[in-house]
Structure 1
């Protein structure tokens, strides 16, 4: 497990770092290696202690944050949230067997808004990402989107092998975009 602890608006504290490492060790049982964890501990206005944990491991990403009056309590609370999310994720995919080799490679490109508006011949690419899209059911895609705290998720439907998009609507419900043939 790769753990990166960052302190913001406070001095570096080895006891807090060791405490976070010790508490993170208990989530290893829910997920396979490799696990990459970013922990951000910050103090705002000298009384609000905030802990934010972001985990990336083998195709899933989980993010949680908690704010209390004590940093140790904030770490405990955020890790309880992470543990609940991992338990829920593990139970939902317990019977799901991913089909190897059916994933697709997706490329995401972000263009600069000025280059499109000015009528330039070629838009300027700001960032380009490439990631593997694994086959999953719509329900699993919604769960994954909630765990990642994203507004939408691109995935391959395991039943039809088509690329679909699930998104969160303004009314709190979910929508699915399915390509027409």
Structure 2
């Protein structure tokens, strides 16, 4: 969480759920409409935990208290009202959090649907996101975006620059990245 790396909510949340269970935390899956999986961790009170959202969330938040988190890239507004819990990302989508725990087995149809290469909204591009020197940065289709205070810098990377950013700045395995690109291209071209 401290590095600010995200991923597909289904995989990141299930991995973090497993870790928290191994550490004896009382943890539950929560579903956010439309199409997002996050966690509830019960400590002194229930907490909202979301590690797969690429949002500026670096801590757990009391689930029934409103908050705003922001960085140079976006504002994440979590509002609790009598009508429920609404999450508004600017820029980005608006979602509604259901605070009732869900079983992962019941999420299976949604997970399968979200992983349909022909219709999934998040399988359109490979996106790498992280905080590089406390600056939000994303990499999509060889395009690097850095979100500095007051300005966004966008740069097309050549092959050498791409490898540098993936290995040295995002600290990822370049061979794994290339394998992911190959799989992505095969699946998208079916």
> Given the two structures, how large is their TM-score scaled by the length of structure 2?
0.28
> Given the two structures, how large is their TM-score scaled by the length of structure 1?
0.29
Larger Rg: 1
Higher relative contact order, structure no. (Cα contacts within 8 Å, ≥ 6 residues apart):
2
